[in-house]
């Protein structure tokens, strides 16, 4: 998997991990309510699985961007320092909010 694919997978897993808590809060803040919003808490049992997947994919992205030596030909995007710098910036721009989403269930009671 490329760093871009692992980062996208990590974001999707992070959204899945926070769906039980962020989803109802977001819907209620938009004025959408009802009994069906409470059904989103059914995702609570699979939250640890999604959290583990998100952290795994973040770790894979970090490993590919910082620890693994890219083996590529000169002239390819993986050999360009500017492209690597941009990928690292995008990585941190996605990872910080994603970690916030993962931690949100512990802070959600403060908002309800």
Q: Is the pLDDT of residue 40 over 70?
A: no
CA angle 39, 43, 46 (to 5 degrees): 165
> Could you tell me which residue, 25 or 54, shows the higher pLDDT?
54
In a domain, 112, yes or no: no
In a domain, 24, yes or no: yes
Count: domains in the chain: 1
In a domain, 108, yes or no: no
In a domain, 89, yes or no: yes
* Percentage of the chain lying above the pLDDT 70 cut: 75
In a domain, 58, yes or no: yes
In a domain, 109, yes or no: no
Range of the domain at 89: 3-102
- Say if CB 64 and CB 57 are below 8 A apart: no
Question: Residue 16: what pLDDT?
Answer: 74
> Could you tell me which residue, 78 or 92, shows the higher pLDDT?
92
Helix extents (H) in the chain: 3-29, 47-62, 81-107
In a domain, 111, yes or no: no
pTM above 0.75, yes or no: no
Q: Quick one: average pLDDT of 68-77? A: 73
In a domain, 57, yes or no: yes
């Amino acid at each position: 998997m490329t760093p871009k694919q692992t980062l996208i997978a990590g974001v999707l897993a992070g959204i899945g991990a926070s769906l039980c808590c962020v989803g109802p809060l977001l819907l209620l803040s938009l004025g959408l309510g009802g009994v069906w919003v409470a059904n989103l808490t059914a995702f609570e049992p699979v939250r640890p699985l999604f959290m583990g997947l998100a952290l795994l994919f973040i770790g894979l992205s970090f490993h590919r961007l910082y620890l693994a030596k890219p083996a590529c030909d000169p002239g390819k995007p993986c050999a360009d320092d500017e492209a690597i710098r941009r990928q690292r910036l995008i990585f941190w721009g996605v990872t910080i909010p994603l970690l916030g989403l993962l931690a949100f269930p512990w802070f959600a009671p403060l908002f309800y």
